[in-house]
Amino acid sequence: MTLFQDFEISQPLKKAISKMGFEEATPIQAQTIPVTLEGNDVIGQAQTGTGKTAAFGIPLIEKIDVNNPRIQAIVIAPTRELAIQVSEELYKIGYYKRVQVLSVYGGQEIGRQIRALKKGPQIIVGTPGRMLDHINRKTIRLQDVQTVVLDEADEMLNMGFIEDIESILKEVPSEHQTLLFSATMPKPIQAIAERFMHEPKVIKTKSKEVTVANIEQYYIETQEQKKFDALTRLLDIQAPELAIVFGRTKRRVDELSEALQTRGYAAQGIHGDLTQGKRMKVLRQFKERSIDILVATDVAARGLDISGVSHVYNFDLPQDPESYVHRIGRTGRAGKQGKAMTFVTPREIPHLKNVEATTKRRMEPMKVPSLDDALEGQQRLIFDQITSAINEENLSSYEQMAENLLEKNDAAKVVAAALKLMTKEPDTTPVKLTSEPPLQVKKDRKKSYGKGNYSKNKRNYRNKDGRQQSSRSYDMKQRRSRTNKTRKSS
Ligand SMILES: Nc1ncnc2c1ncn2[C@@H]1O[C@H](COP(=O)(O)OP(=O)(O)OP(=O)(O)O)[C@@H](O)[C@H]1O
Ligand SMILES: [Mg+2]
């Protein structure tokens, strides 16, 4: 057991960490913080929700010179919401040290960011595109940067981002520390990563499984057209505190959130085609629980830490096993329990096996619930709520009314009527949902990474549309298949 108080870090940080409620370091924190404080480059891989943000955040903030108003560290994250979240966590860690942290991301007025940049933040957290934009405008200067962090490193070094990352790194002095963190690190991506690094220490917390043990994982085999009924019945039965439903495409997310609303659920969608204002509003509503179902593309798959997410539903199978790991990792965080349900059509079973082979964990089969099961689920929920209300609520203003009802009616009838009115009976309102074709399993995934397209000596080559590419890991087939992902969010 490693306590934060025992780390060689300054008092203001210890005070901030304790205010955040952390006492004991998680395994990845215990292993990486000392090594990072010594100045090493680090590749840190640990399961979702195990505190990787603080693992890089603590040493990063320890190193900052607060008397220097220039940018000393940058953290790059794949999505806007993650950049904001990471900057908030760093702000908390640096609170008593008075470190200034700023997030810059696409979709927010650039003028506002430029004004904030003039105040001399020491740490910038941003999405690659917007960070490059500021570098080109000379509103961000990286000459004093000593630390570069790639959060969700494998995603950042993936096809769509690598050129931006390379351009950013060109602006950083060659003497700098590089920290890469993610829950997944496919070997070919790690090889690319090491090119950017100086004798990196690779720290992977020892665990056979890629996903955390406290997430129960199920799959539900059903026809494409039956998935939605199965979803709403499951929602009725499982009554999640907060749930995230992942869909494959933006259109899918729009249709799903509308269909859920039609059936009376408090659901909203989030994806890359919405305005930033709308994206932030939906996420705020979800955190405040004015909605309890977030329907999302993979834009919400990585890094987001929202307490209370008890269930994740993969309405559509994710494109690759890594995406599965990150999606389900939105639940079961910081030692909490979670459940993940994945819908799969019969033709997609090979794809599911592929996911299981990567995660080294079997998903349990779950039967498609019937309407009766759904009704029973809702009844059980109401039963539990009433039982706890009997013990905990002040019912005095209702007691007279109860007496009146009981005078004229049979007691069991009265309670049954009240139960019926309170129970949300399964809603079968027809909804419109465009069918998605089944996912095709990629023949040999291992070979498809970095297949001839990338080598150390052959860094530049032209792709099919003649555009020069620097380095890459996925082949073109994979690239096409990933275009539906909401990736370029900055
Ligand atoms: N030592 C600790 N003690 C208690 N809670 C912690 C500790 N470290 C981090 N946490 C909390 O655990 C949660 C998950 O942390 P974090 O978001 O950093 O996970 P992660 O490993 O980056 O996950 P992901 O792979 O999904 O990005 C956060 O709410 C964080 O505040
Ligand atoms: Mg993280």
* pTM (two decimals): 0.88
| Mean pLDDT calculated for residue range 434-442 | 83
Residue type, position 198, single letter: H
- Lining residues, ligand 1, CB within 6 Å: 22, 24-26, 29, 46, 48-54, 183, 303, 305, 329, 333-334
Residue 307 to residue 336: CA distance in whole angstroms: 9
Q: What is the tens place of the pLDDT at every residue in 384-400? A: 889 998 988 888 898 99
pLDDT exceeds 80 at position 45: yes
Helix (H, G, I), strand (E, B) or coil at 464: coil
pLDDT at residue 341 in the model: 98
Average pLDDT over residues 452-463: 30
pLDDT recorded at residue 443: 54
In this prediction, residue 451 carries a pLDDT of 32
Q: How far apart are CA 211 and CA 207, in angstroms?
A: 9
Strand, helix or coil at 37? Answer: helix
Q: What is the dihedral of CA 215, 218, 223, 224, to 10 degrees?
A: 10
Report long-range pairs for 481-485 (Cβ below 8 Å, ≥24 apart).
481/319, 481/442, 482/159, 482/160, 482/319, 484/248, 484/249, 484/250, 484/297, 484/319, 485/297, 485/298, 485/319, 485/323
For ligand 1, what atom is nearest to the CA of residue 50? 21
Mean pLDDT of the 206-231 span: 92
Torsion, CA 457, CA 164, CA 320, CA 239, rounded to 10: 160
Cα Rg of the chain (Å, integer): 25
Cα dihedral angle (207, 208, 209, 215), rounded to 10 degrees?
-60
Reported as a pLDDT band with limits 50, 70 and 90, residue 425 is confident
Residue 469 per-residue DSSP state:
E
Tell me which of 13, 14, 22, 150 to substitute to probe ligand 1's pocket, judged by most ligand atoms within 8 Å of the beta carbon. Answer: 22
How many Å lie between the centroid of ligand 2 and the Cα of residue 465? 35
Q: pLDDT tens for residues 106-155? A: 999 999 999 999 999 999 999 999 999 999 999 999 999 999 999 999 99
Residue 487 has pLDDT above 60, yes or no: no
- pLDDT the model gives residue 440: 77
* pLDDT for 470: 34
Bridge partners, residue 151, by sequence: 181
Provide the 10 A C-beta neighbour count for residue 12: 18
Please compute the mean of the pLDDT values over residues 147-169 and round it to a whole number.
94
Mean pLDDT, rounded, for 42-66: 97
Per-residue model confidence (pLDDT) at position 482: 33
Per DSSP (E only), the strands in 375-466 are 461-462
pLDDT at 274: 97
Helix (H) or strand (E) holding 414: helix 411-422
Convert the pLDDT of each residue in 304-356 to its tens digit: 999 999 999 999 999 999 999 999 999 999 999 999 999 999 999 999 999 99
- Cβ atoms within 10 Å, residue 362: 10
Distance between CA atoms of residues 133 and 250, nearest Å: 26
* Closest-approaching ligand to the CA atom of 305: 1
**Sorting pLDDT into bands at 50, 70 and 90, what band is 477?**
very low
Tokens describing residue 407: 């005078």
Measured from the CA of 152, which atom of ligand 1 is nearest? 27
CA–CA dist 453, 472 (Å, integer) = 7
**Which ligand 1 atom minimizes the distance to the CA of 82?**
27
What is the number of other CB atoms lying within 10 angstroms of the CB of residue 66? 14
pLDDT of 393 reads: 87
**Range 215-369 classified under CATH 3.40.50.300:** yes
Under 8 Å CB-to-CB from 442, ≥6 apart: which residues?
Answer: 354, 448, 477, 478, 481
378 Cα distance to chain centroid: 29
Q: Which residue has the higher pLDDT, 172 or 461?
A: 172
Q: Flag whether the ipTM exceeds 0.95.
A: yes
CA-proximal residue: ligand 1, atom 9 (nearest): 51
Cα–Cα distances (Å) from 57 to 3, 52, 86, in that order, read: 16, 8, 9
Residue 216 pLDDT greater than 90, yes or no: yes
Residue 483 confidence class, pLDDT cut points 50, 70, 90: very low
Query: Computed from CA positions of residues 363, 365, 371, 374, in that sequence, does the dihedral angle turn out positive or negative?
Result: negative
Q: How confident is the model at residue 423 (pLDDT cuts 50, 70, 90)?
A: confident
Structure tokens at 113: 């960011």
What is the pLDDT confidence band of residue 179, given thresholds at 50, 70 and 90? Answer: very high
Q: Which ligand is nearest to the CA of 333?
A: 1
- Closest ligand 1 atom to residue 85 Cα is 17
What are 295's strand-pairing partners?
245, 269
**Nearest CA owner, ligand 1 atom 1:** 25
| Closest ligand, as measured to the CA of 300 | 1
Amino acid at 195: R
Residues 98 and 109: their CA atoms lie apart, in Å, by: 26
Q: Which CATH number fits domain 4-208: 3.30.70.1890, 3.90.550.10, 3.40.50.2300, 3.40.50.300?
A: 3.40.50.300
pLDDT for the residue numbered 374: 87
* Percent of the chain as helix, strand, coil, to the nearest 5: 45, 15, 40
Note the ligand closest to the C-alpha atom of 26: 1
Measured from the Cα of 21, ligand 1's closest atom is: 4
Closest alpha carbon to 265 in 253, 274, 256: 256
- pLDDT tens, 360-393? 999 999 999 999 998 998 889 899 889 998 988 8
Tens-place pLDDT, residues 232-285: 999 999 999 999 999 999 999 999 999 999 999 999 999 999 999 999 999 999
Tokens representing 3?
A: 């306590």
- Residue 90, sorted as left (phi over 0), alpha (psi -120 to 50) or beta, turns out to be alpha
pLDDT band at 159 (very low <50, low <70, confident <90, very high): confident
